Structure 1
Amino acid sequence: MTALARPELLFDPTRRRAVARQVADPSYAGELADLFDRGYDHMVRELGGSDPSQVLLRLVPLGHRVESFSPARARVAVWQVLLIGAPGGRVVASWSTSRADLVWGRGGWRVAGFTSDEPGPGPTVTNAATATPPEVFVARLDGLAPFTR
């Protein structure tokens, strides 16, 4: 996921598709590229005419959980925050949990599918009305291990 969330990919669909081919199983590469094209196109519209060199785009994985595993397939949940912003606008933090289906092949794990992101849990210190309630926040984090890299 972090390979596909880089600011230089916002304005370069050709490079974005190349990265999708690198991380995806060949049977899913086209669909993954289309999925990320739609997401990036939306972000570009939101950023307006921002200078690409001044755009902040960071996907930070915060925790993960292996939800199923076999030697050939796995499903992994990743709790993450996406930060996006540009000069003259505000920086938005989007909290979500993504699930990736992975297959073993071509010398490593490859993405074979994504399920729809689940919003949150989303902590906030500035607007308690938008925060995930504490009991829901803790429940959604159950079983997530922190990333160590």
Structure 2
Amino acid sequence: MSLGDDNDGFGGSGMGGSGQTRTRLPEGGTGDPYTPARRPRGSRSLITAVGVVVLLIAAIAFANRGGGDPDTDNTSGSTPSSGKQTPTAATGVRPVPGKNGTIPTGFARDEQGAQSAASNYAVALGSDGMFKPVSRHQIVDTVYTPEAAARLKGPQDEAYSADFLKRLGLDAQGNPPTGNTFVTRTIPVGTKVESFDGDTAKVSVWYTGLIGMSGPGSTDPVSTTWKTWTFDLRWTNDDWKISADSQKDGPAPVPGDVAASTADEISKAVEEFGGFTYAR
């Protein structure tokens, strides 16, 4: 992932009852379970049919939400206040309108936009582009404020040194050996607004990551990591930009019992499965 590694339960709902089991008898009223039930009255059938139609119309309207004209769709991005614990879920707000290279831009100036910006910036900063000098500078210039970008480029160039890249199996330009695939991805799991005041925001992104070399003879196979990346965001040049960031380990779930795939399977998956643009 990005070099700032010093910077990386489900709620159960019980179902209660009286402890008794009820058996509903057929409407025949005889108490005999083999006696055919009476046919429903005509009025009951009519009410049922009308109810089904109403539900069908409501379902269609819900499914089509957000798919209309972008000028008339709701883009207010209103979300519950940051003090409340809410799940990360789709809200119907349309995706961001633009991109700078492969990085989404043009986020809404609200809590939802800040969360989307933080998620997408985590993906960019966790990509293999950070291991190549030219693309690293482009990513940093895109996601950070101008002041932060200028401050970070020098130290990052030193950190991504030829010796460091060599330990990862990469050459001095961040390229893997022929026949190998260098895998590094950040996959956001959820976001949380720590604070928000209109022009600044602090957003934490809980994510899982993939990093390692996939290929014959690799001594650094692809593994997973779980971290939380916290971004201080500032509204700059009509978009959210990072002014500072930090990472910490976890929360990490118990590893599953799925057998690890072969290097060829991992390489093929990385090539065939593209990433996402994240928007709340």
TM category, shorter = 0.7 to 0.9
Distance in 1 (CA, whole Å) between partners of 2:158 and 2:223 is 18
**Identity of paired residues, percent?**
29
2:228 equivalent in structure 1: 97
Q: Which structure dedicates a bigger proportion of its chain to helix?
A: 1
Distance in 1 (CA, whole Å) between partners of 2:188 and 2:156 is 17
Distance in 1 (CA, whole Å) between partners of 2:245 and 2:129 is 22
2:252 equivalent in structure 1: 122
Worse-matched range after superposition: 32-41 or 17-26: 32-41
Equivalent of residue 153 in structure 2, options 2, 21, 33: 33
| RMSD, aligned CA | 2.5
Indicate conservation of the 8 Å contact 2:195/2:202, yes or no: yes
Show CA shifts across 1:80-123 (max 9, x none): 112012122311212110100000011110000012x1111112
Distance in 1 (CA, whole Å) between partners of 2:251 and 2:240 is 27
Distance in 2 (CA, whole Å) between partners of 1:63 and 1:38 is 32
Distance in 2 (CA, whole Å) between partners of 1:61 and 1:43 is 26
The answer to whether 1:68 aligns with 2:195 is yes
Question: Where does structure 1 lack aligned partners over 5 or more consecutive residues?
Answer: 127-146
Distance in 2 (CA, whole Å) between partners of 1:118 and 1:96 is 6
SS of residue in 1 equivalent to 2:147: coil
Q: Which amino acid aligns with 2:150?
A: G
Question: Where does structure 2 lack aligned partners over 5 or more consecutive residues?
Answer: 1-121, 171-175, 258-277
Q: Which amino acid aligns with 1:24?
A: Y
Equivalent of residue 212 in structure 2, options 85, 91, 96: 85
Deviation at 1:48, TM superposition (A): 2.0
Taking structure 1 as the reference length, the TM-score comes to 0.72
Change (3 A) 1:47 1:95: same
Taking structure 2 as the reference length, the TM-score comes to 0.41
Deviation at 1:32, TM superposition (A): 3.7
Deviation at 1:7, TM superposition (A): 1.9
2:144 equivalent in structure 1: 24
Q: Which amino acid aligns with 2:168?
A: L
Q: Extract structure 1 runs of 4+ deviating beyond 4 A.
A: 34-43
Indicate conservation of the 8 Å contact 1:24/1:32, yes or no: no
Deviation at 1:27, TM superposition (A): 1.1
2:239 equivalent in structure 1: 108
Deviation at 1:36, TM superposition (A): 4.9
Distance in 1 (CA, whole Å) between partners of 2:158 and 2:252 is 23
Distance in 2 (CA, whole Å) between partners of 1:63 and 1:4 is 17
Q: Return the index of the structure with the highest Cα Rg.
A: 2
Q: Which amino acid aligns with 2:225?
A: S
1:15 equivalent in structure 2: 135
SS of residue in 2 equivalent to 1:48: coil
Deviation at 1:15, TM superposition (A): 1.7
Show CA shifts across 1:54-100 (max 9, x none): 11111111111000001110000000112012122311212110100
